[in-house]
Amino acid sequence: MTSYLFNPPVVQSLAIRGKTERFPINRLFFVGRNYHAHAVEMGKPVDKSVERPFYFTKSPQTLLASGSTVSYPPETQNFHFEMELVVAIGQAGFRVSQERAHELIYGYASGLDMTRRDLQLVARDKGRPWDLGKDVEHSSVCTEIVPMQGKIIDDAAIALEVNGVTQQSSNVNKLIWNIREVIADLSLFYHLQPGDLIYTGTPEGVNAVVPGDKISGRVDGVAEISLNIGQAE
């Protein structure tokens, strides 16, 4: 038996609807700028005819269960929500065709890609890595995994409210790169593994929250998500 100097990091996991087993997390992938209206509000429109999707990752240790309260994070004045459909990978795949992409899908979840927007934009505009803006502690909020083996979701309303006021309202049928395209493209760069989550991008309407705010959101047919913003440490 291996002996460690201190307790090794805990494997992050999510509940699975209807099951007692939990879904262990391997990696967290995020698609950038995957709805036209959001790309425009970020000042970076996307031309799919000449561009490919791009990705960033966050540490699995940033995972946080829906329903939690998160401390307002340090070193930001502009902490943003991004409501996203999350794909849960259940089968390994490398260089997967779009036609076979559904075979990798275990299920879906609703997710929040919480972002220190001020730091992300400084990094973006200086050509630096996005980690300080995106790989924020407790910033990868996710609901339980809803099993939908082999199913492609290509039409579902996605919405988010803060304190009951609608801020984001769109449909995943507006994804620039759809679920098949994202899985096929990402699998060119990575050997996708069971336990990988793919946050597929956010629609327009991203905005800042402050301590005391209550976020609620959903992808219709998947799950309701919530997050409370607490005081800064």
Residues engaged in binding Mn ion (CB under 5 A): 82, 113, 202
Q: How far is the CB of 56 from Mn ion (least distance, A)?
A: 8
CA quadruple 10, 16, 20, 26: dihedral positive or negative?
Answer: negative
Q: How far is the CB of 196 from Mn ion (least distance, A)?
A: 16
User: Quick one: 202 or 226, whose CB is closer to Mn ion?
Assistant: 202
Q: Which residue is nearest to Mn ion (CB)?
A: 113
User: Quick one: 139 or 202, whose CB is closer to Mn ion?
Assistant: 202
Q: How far is the CB of 224 from Mn ion (least distance, A)?
A: 19
User: Quick one: 113 or 196, whose CB is closer to Mn ion?
Assistant: 113
Q: How far is the CB of 151 from Mn ion (least distance, A)?
A: 22
User: Quick one: 82 or 135, whose CB is closer to Mn ion?
Assistant: 82
